[in-house]
Amino acid sequence: MFRKRKSGSGDSLADFWKWWSAGGSRDFARSIQTGTFGSLPDVMSAHVHAIDPELVWELSAGRVAQHALYVGAAGDAHVRPLAERWLRSAPAPDATWEYVAAKRPDPNVLSSSLEIAGKTFVLADLRTRVVVNEPSQLVEVMVFHPEFADVDEDARLRVAFLALESVLGEDDVERWLGALEATTEVLPDGLPLDAVLETVKALAARHTEPGWAVLEVRTEGGARLMVSVLRPLRWIDHPLLDQHLGVSVPYAVLPDGDGLPPPAELERIRALEDTLVDALEDHAMLVAHETAAGFRQFHLYSDSTDDAVVPAAMDWGLAHGVEVDVERDPGWSIVRPYR
């Protein structure tokens, strides 16, 4: 089975940068200086939405240039690959403009505030409790603010999420946040918002290289399910790998009583895995495999715009009598339970 969504064509990206280079950048720089934008925001929106209607844009002060242009996904995994392609096709930064596809941390976060649900939330008044999940390399964060008692849960979570995005940056929220809770109960041991950043930095320092973890769970029928998964399992580190390849390899012999392959069969499947990885070369990334009930299921991810991947995977499948299922999966939702 093969399902593929086409959006964000090379033409729309090229058209954006053609317009920007022909005068868009100059016009926006001039408008920032004068404070008069006229119809320019509508023109920008039209060009951005031609790439994908879900993309958003924003102007801000630059770090290496005078101004920064953000075109991004606002946390939506489905369009984050397009934002990354937009960024990779951007011109080099110059004295006036730099380009970003994810919101960056705000160094002045503790002097900032948010206006949500008719309330002002001073971020310096937030208190946090952070629990580290070492095996998954994720943090679970609880957030309290004195004004939380006066707003509903949706508003509380929005404040908490935007505050974490301000202190960590858009991509690092996805990279490190495992769970988020916004509580109305005072946290006597709560720490300021920037403590989350310090915890994440320490966690990153402890885990500098990826590795493989083995998990054991039970299927709905009660059979053993062995999962080998890459840790950390982070699509945000590979934002262009938005296409899932599921490869299901049946056992050539009967499984043991738990549905797992006997040693000789396991060696055969491992050798088959090597041929699969070799066939796809550097075009796909193996992130997990599941073994249970007479099958091993491989999970790989590739760039949906790479036209070499699907033919190579299908040829390999035909040669070995193995089913290959291809579908678009930005955000790696299929393997997300194994984070």
Give, in order, the Cα–Cα distances in Å from 162 to each of 12, 80, 94, 180, 248. Answer: 30, 18, 30, 11, 40
**Above 50 in pLDDT, residue 253?**
yes
Q: Burial code of 129-151, b = ≥16 C-beta within 10 A, e = fewer?
A: bbebeeebbbbebbbbbebbeeb
CA 284 to each of CA 128, 276, 291, 306: distance values in angstroms, whole numbers, following the listed order: 39, 10, 20, 10
Q: Name the phi and psi angles at 335, rounded to 5.
A: -105, 0
Comparing 166-175, 187-196, 248-257, which segment has the lowest mean pLDDT?
248-257
Alpha-carbon distance values, 238 to 30, 204, 301, 327 (Å) = 36, 17, 9, 17
Q: What is the pLDDT of residue 258?
A: 72
| Whether the predicted model's global pTM rises above the 0.85 cut | yes
- Cis amide bond preceding 232, omega within 30: yes
First to last CA, the chain: 26
- What pLDDT is recorded for position 3? 38
Note whether 127 and 159 are within 8 A (CB): no
Per-residue pLDDT at 129 exceeds 90: yes
Beta-carbon neighbour count of residue 84 at 10 Å? 19
pLDDT one-digit tens code per residue, 68-105: 999 999 989 999 999 999 999 999 999 999 999 999 99
Predicted local confidence at residue 5, as pLDDT: 41
- The number of residues in the chain equals 339
Q: Which amino acid is at 104?
A: R
Res. 144: pLDDT tops 70: yes
* Residue 44 pLDDT class (50, 70, 90 cuts): very high
For 142-152, what is the mean pLDDT? 97
Is the predicted pLDDT of residue 322 greater than 50, yes or no?
yes
Domains and CATH numbers, the chain: 10-100 (no CATH), 109-206 (no CATH), 211-338 (3.30.70)
pLDDT of residue 4: 42
CB neighbour list of residue 168: distance below 8 Å, 6 or more residues apart: 105, 176, 177, 196, 197, 200
CA 83, distance to chain mean position in Å, is 12
Report the percentage of the chain scoring pLDDT > 70. Answer: 97
| Torsion angle (degrees, nearest 10) of CA 34, 35, 40, 44 | 110
**pLDDT at residue number 6:** 44
pLDDT for position 293: 80
Give yes or no for residue 122 having a pLDDT over 60.
Answer: yes
Please tell me the predicted confidence (pLDDT) of residue 260.
Answer: 81
Amino acid at residue number 206: R
In Å, how far are 4, 239, 294, 334 from 244, measured between CA atoms?
10, 13, 22, 8
pLDDT digits (tens, 9 = 90+) for 262-306: 889 999 999 999 999 999 988 999 999 999 888 999 999 999 999
Q: Tell me the pLDDT band of 9, cut-offs 50, 70 and 90.
A: low
Q: What is the pLDDT of residues 188-243, one digit of tens each?
A: 999 999 999 999 999 999 999 999 999 998 777 777 889 999 999 999 999 999 99
Q: How far is CA 316 from CA 28, 248, 272, in A?
A: 50, 12, 10
Kindly tell me if the per-residue pLDDT of 1 is higher than 50.
no
Average pLDDT score, the chain? 93
Weakest-pLDDT range from 2-6, 46-50, 144-148: 2-6
Question: Using 50, 70 and 90 to split pLDDT, how confident is the model at 171?
Answer: very high
Tell me the β-bridge partners of 41.
none
Which residue do the tokens 């678009």 mark?
A: 328
CB neighbour list of residue 139: distance below 8 Å, 6 or more residues apart: 130, 131, 132, 133, 176, 177, 178, 196, 199, 200, 203
Q: Give dist(CA 33, CA 45) in Å, integer.
A: 20
Q: Reduced to 3 states, what is the DSSP secondary structure of residue 55?
A: coil
